[in-house]
Chain A
Amino acid sequence: MAKELEKVDVVTVGVGWTGGIVAAECAKEGLKVVGLERGRERGVDDYFMIHDELRYAIRYDLMQDLSKETITFRNEPKQRALPMRRLGSFLPGEGLGGAGVHWNGMTFRFLPYDFEIYSQTVDKYGKDKIKKDYTVQDWGITYDELEPYFDKFEKTCGISGEEWKYSGKRSNPYPTPPMKNTPYLNRFAEAAKELGYEPFMAPSANLSETYENPDGMTINACQYCGFCERFGCEYGAKSDPTITVIPTAQKTGNFELRPHSNVTDILHDGEKATGVKYVDVLSGEEYIQPAEVVVLTSYTMNNTRLLLHSKLGRPYDPDSGTGVIGKNYCYQIMVGVTGFYEDEQFNTFMGAGALAQAIDDLNGDNFDHSDLDFIHGGVLTCGQSGRRPIAYNPTPPGTPGWGAEFKKNSIKYYTQTISIGFQGASIPYRYNYLDLDPTYKDAYGSPLLRMTYNFTDQDRQLFKYLSEKGGEIMEAMGADTVARQEELGDYDIRPYQSTHNTGGAIMGDDPDTSAVNNYLQMWDADNVFVVGASAFAHNGGYNPTGTVGALAYRAAEGIVKYSKNGGQLV
């Protein structure tokens, strides 16, 4: 029998960026907040031995333990889905701060175009531009409406950056100046300029200088040590929830963090949630935490899984195209180009997660799509994030995968390559969706989430186009050999691509086609807010965290409003 605890104002399921933001903002307003985090508590002190590629980058020490929970995957609805038994394609985090601890720190705002993608595409190119079965929708909010929340998130993090031609209108400059430029990045920037593009330093949560945020939290200056992605920052120089919003929430006295608490069910009466049920993973005991407001702030996929498993909201059915929970699962189209240099060496081992030069000329609708067989595009970055020796063994095409020649080339080119890559936008498709698996269960006996996903014709056209453009730029960068993939194959769960999974509980202005309104409040349950990239109606051509952070601040404002007045906020 689960033990019932005393009711609180707000309970969050997960305490990473979104849970931390909601906790901080609600607790500041005097609401009593409980944060249920299934992993352990952790902070800067835990990263004493962080410069360990094997432990953190290869063995995934900070990532989700799949022995307890994973997803199942198939490319097409007619296949049998099978468990993702090992991590590969994407890396959900585990523990306090979630994936916000091991992120790289690229902090873009989605383009004004992204939020009105359907209307703007139809206005400019006509209805036929959006092909059958692509479930493209507006987000139910505009960039201008979201701008103050972007501003707030960037100030919380102290983002280092500079404005560029295509960035949306800003109410304030970036809180700190851009990071240092390097010979490696400059090679790209010079070539891009020559070709008529407009390079800029990417907005970064690895800070160029020490910064105190409006909540009084200090983030230190980045040391360019090269251990960012898949690592926590031992310097407290990468903005993450554990050094910003979580201590801010704790400072109020209104926030209680409960680590090792794995939520298994949202409890509800069909109209409203009454609380959540969770397992204390240390004692094994079950608890019920009643709450006025339940906020889902776990990773994209778990937000969706918890809704489906708890039978809250209308599950998406791809055959009829009805229902909303599990709809518009999107990913990203990663296009990489590598240049090999015979006589030049670069400090490839130095860097920071978001240390990059970028161009935005081929993103969104920043270029004309009239004669192109796809919509949207992607940001191109040349990043120097710190190449590590186990993972990075670049060899020119034709080199064997092992033996003497492999050894010679992988050692030589470790410091003699430059890589650039697009993050191509992902456009939703009717048969790419999330539901519950009929066979496989997690450690607590709940069904796993089932992902049905493959790249679409749109993705393949976009990939081809971006790969060609990337190749041209790398040629201009003076590489002796240029390696790139021309065609996109089927989506493969094995190689790492990106932890930019989106959708499943999308936002919009119509309850028939979206799960949450523009405060991320559920249309079907007034006191449930579903926060995170799960709300993205499609995935843009940028890293998503900036937009996730903005939406979380918007949701927090909604929760405070709801707590005062109740009802639907939109």
Chain B
Amino acid sequence: MSENEQEKQQKTMTRREFLRKSGYVAGGAVGGGILGGLITSQVANRPGTKRPEQAQQQGEDFNRALMFFSKQEDFQILSDAAERIFPEDDLGPGAKKLGVPYFIDHQLAGAWGHNAREYMQGPFYDGTETQGYQSHLDRREIFGQGISKIQAYSKETYDKPFTELSAEEQDEVLTAFEEGKVEMQGITSKEFFDLLRSSVIEGAYADPLYGGNANMDGWRMKKFPGNQMSYTDRIESEFEEIEPRSLRAHMQQE
């Protein structure tokens, strides 16, 4: 962390300051709950203690392995496609460096991939656009089919696998999906593309606890400070950049 960043970080309100300024401790208006947890995490956050981001940089990130995709090739196609949607540029990292492909893989392995909280009972009919998603496929099935269709379409059109195409060609493939031009089963290629696009954005900007937004660099690029306790003292002021904090900051750190 640069000196400048450290300085900024000190400027952001610490939890102790928050507790003091908001008068919760002195006034005793609230008990237990989150405040109890915050007070405990003060101990771990004293000067000299490693911040979680630093700790992560020093060790290997064991989280970066696959829970859903079974073939390396599929994961590479996903990674390349994600990078075209959210590419690295002079503002900062793209989807790959942010860990977005891992984020998507991990999300697909869980409840979201199985559409666990959505209504999946039949009968299934095509409706109007305004009636929304009506496929019987869950997201795992959509991604599985979609990634293999990207490969098949690339080979048919360019006689090469997707990962060996130029950036422009990869964009052409993705555009064909976006425009609904690629035939898929139980879903349109546009619906698959929209799902892919939205999950890339999620991976770039979700709290790093989910495996994307590595080192909070997605937030840093966007000047979103993440999990902050209070802006009471700043809400009336002009724009300012604030060093981001993740939810990890709330945990009692080991």
Contact = CB atoms under 8 A, between A and B. Distances in A.
A236 B32 CA distance: 12
Interface stretch (A330-338, A406-414, A532-540): A406-414
Interface in A38-55: 43-45, 47-49, 51-54
Contacts of B127: 79-80, 82
Contacts of A346: 239
Interface centre among B197, B222, B250 (most CB of A within 10 A): B222
Interface stretch (B56-64, B115-123, B181-189): B115-123
For chain A, what secondary structure do more than half of its interface residues adopt (helix, strand, loop), or is it mixed? loop
A210 B29 contact: yes
Interface string B112-138: 100111111101010111111110000
Interface stretch (B42-50, B85-93, B148-156, B157-165): B85-93
Interface string A162-185: 000000000000000000111100
A51 B227 contact: yes
Contact of B205 (A43, A53, A210, A223): A53
A403 B84 contact: yes
Given A350-B231, A390-B202, A49 B250 contact: yes
Contacts of B1: none
Contact of A223 (B22, B89, B118, B201): B22
B32 A85 contact: no
Interface in A408-424: 408, 411, 414-415
A479 to B, nearest CB: 16
B238 A48 contact: no
Size bracket of the A interface: 35 or more
B224 A349 contact: yes
A45 B32 contact: yes
A223 B35 CA distance: 14
A65 B117 contact: yes
Contacts of A52: 206-207, 209, 247
B192 interface: no
A284 B41 CA distance: 40
Contact of B210 (A54, A88, A182, A355): A54
A440 B89 contact: no
A45 B33 CA distance: 4
Interface in B230-254: 230-232, 234-240, 247, 250
A60 interface: yes
Contacts of A491: 130
A345 B27 CA distance: 36
Given A347-B231, A347-B237, A218 B29 contact: yes
A440 B85 CA distance: 38
A218 B31 CA distance: 12
A79 B115 CA distance: 26
A517 B194 CA distance: 47
Contact of B202 (A54, A65, A84, A235): A54
3 pairs of A and B residues whose beta carbons are closest in the complex: A45-B33, A345-B239, A223-B230
23 contacts: A44-B33, A48-B34, A52-B209, A53-B207, A54-B202, A54-B207, A59-B117, A82-B132, A82-B134, A85-B119, A88-B132, A183-B236, A220-B24, A222-B232, A223-B230, A235-B22, A350-B234, A402-B178, A407-B87, A411-B91, A414-B223, A415-B239, A439-B123
Interface of A: 43-45, 47-49, 51-54, 58-60, 65-67, 70, 73-75, 79-80, 82-86, 88, 180-183, 210, 218, 220-226, 234-236, 344-347, 349-351, 355, 388-390, 393, 401-404, 407-408, 411, 414-415, 439-441, 490-494
